[in-house]
A and B are shown apart, each in its own frame.
Chain A
Amino acid sequence: MRILLAEDEQQLSRAVAAVLTHMKYEVDVADNGLEAVDLAASNTYDCMVLDIMMPVMDGIEALTKIRASGDVTPVIMLTAKAEVSDRVAGLDAGADDYLTKPFAIAELAARIRSLTRRMDSYTPKVLSFGNVRLDTTVSELKAENSVRLSQKEMELMELLMLNPGKAMTTSQIIDKVWKDDPKAEEGVVWMYISYLKSKLDAVTGNLVIDGEKGGPYRLEES
């Protein structure tokens, strides 16, 4: 599980990162909102924790930009003020939960667990990017033509469509799609990427997967 933590107070940031890392999370730290937006655009996270009050770009603006890019990762906002308006603004911008400072790190961890547990239900049933649609209820990939996908192909396509334009490494893909298969390695990822390359071509849409054997792979409009 990978977490993005955007918090400008160094002491707090280090403490939270240390505890989460100890809990076996991978943690990327941003010092301001702009950095958080950049990290979110190039990496895939299971949860993001954003402070509202940050220099350069505040947490609300950062969240608005992240959501505008189509990113549906669960987000927890941190706020120092106990003001209702701040929380409302955060939730309206697309936050899934909030915590008021000061908070117990154990509570933050519990909320991260709760949100990531529910992540499946956040994922929309029909995803679209470019002129291609993926209907996950029937495993159908559709543009001008449609084809049906196998379970793993669909999970991989879903991952790519939830992260359009981002470079996904082979190990990131294995962590998400083959998490239950300890024997999964580079070869199976390349095979399934190859299937999807040919199927994207066959539905005559405008998406391609960029990347050769070994990765990274990026879903983009052609």
Chain B
Amino acid sequence: MIYGKYEETLHLVMDQITGELSEYNEKIKKETGDGIYEHLLARVKSEDSMLEKCVRKGVPQTPESALRIMTDSIGLRVITRFRDDIYQIIDYMKGLPGVQVVAEKDYIRHAKPNGYRSYHMILDRQVPYEDVDGQNPGHYYIEIQLRTIAMDSWASLEHQLKYKKHIKDPELIGQELKRCADELAGCDLSMQTIRNLMREDE
């Protein structure tokens, strides 16, 4: 067992933050009629994937590696309808008790050259359970990706390009994917603007 006796805690830490996000979603829904996110995915990285990743990174297959060197044992993906909702969720998460931001990358304001857009964040969360260093309260990493529905469907298509072995004319596909990413970004921004204008009029 790569996570040793901490596997159960990983699930508790994950359920805590997904519970908080879901409560926040309900609260916003009551206020505005619309949830803050469209859907939320959470997972504890599978035993096999974590073992494979340790090999790939050349580190021993131990709970210490999995919980201290790797930061993605707990992973969340939050998909929103609108662009500004992403930033509102980020603000909410930064304000949760015991949360410290370890790293964050805004690939929305700074898109990758291929057109990839998403907000990445690694949190260190203090929780009332023992961690791999034997401390209690302990510290667990949580990796979070936030993006709009449009960015998410783009990412899933781009993911296929990356892992498919034989693609005809990958250069053209890459170029067209980039164009789609920029068109989707344009659309996301227009929809955000329309929503803002509608809310101003209320």
A interface with B by C-beta (< 8 Å) = 138, 140, 144-150, 153, 191, 194-195, 197-199, 202, 204
Contacts and interface: CB of A to CB of B under 8 A. Distances in A.
Contacts of A150: 186, 190
B189 A198 contact: yes
B109 A148 contact: no
A194 B193 contact: yes
A153 B189 CA distance: 12
A164 B103 CA distance: 39
B186 A149 contact: yes
A158 to B, nearest CB: 16
Interface string B162-202: 00000000000000000100110110011011101100000
B110 A191 contact: no
Contacts of B193: 191, 194-195, 197-198
B197 A191 contact: yes
Interface residues of B, number: 15
A146 B190 contact: no
Contact of B109 (A145, A146, A195): A145
B197 A199 contact: no
Contacts of B111: 145-146
B115 to A, nearest CB: 8
B185 A147 contact: yes
Interface of B: 109-111, 179, 182-183, 185-186, 189-190, 192-194, 196-197
A199 B110 contact: no
Contact of A144 (B110, B179, B183, B196): B110
Nearest to B196: A194
A145 B183 contact: no
B186 A148 contact: yes
6 contacts: A146-B182, A147-B186, A191-B193, A191-B194, A191-B197, A202-B185
A197 B186 CA distance: 12
Contacts of A194: 193, 196-197
A202 B194 CA distance: 16
B36 to A, nearest CB: 19
B202 to A, nearest CB: 16
B179 A199 contact: no
Contacts of B192: 198
What 4 A-B pairs have minimum CB-CB distances, sorted nearest first?
A148-B183, A147-B186, A145-B111, A148-B182
Contacts of B190: 150, 195, 198
Contacts of B186: 147-150, 153, 199
B110 A147 contact: no
A39 B44 CA distance: 66
Nearest to B179: A148
Given A145-B185, A198-B189, 11 more contacts: A144-B110, A145-B110, A145-B111, A147-B183, A147-B185, A148-B183, A148-B185, A191-B197, A194-B197, A199-B186, A199-B189
Contact of B189 (A138, A191, A195): A195
Contact of B182 (A140, A153, A191, A195): A140
Contacts of B185: 145, 147-148, 202
A146 B182 CA distance: 6
A202 B110 CA distance: 9
A199 B83 CA distance: 12
Contacts of A197: 193
Pick the most buried of A150, A191, A197, A202: most chain B CB atoms within 10 A of its CB: A202
A48 B182 CA distance: 38
A202 B182 contact: no
Contacts of B109: 145, 202, 204
A147 B109 CA distance: 11
B163 to A, nearest CB: 25
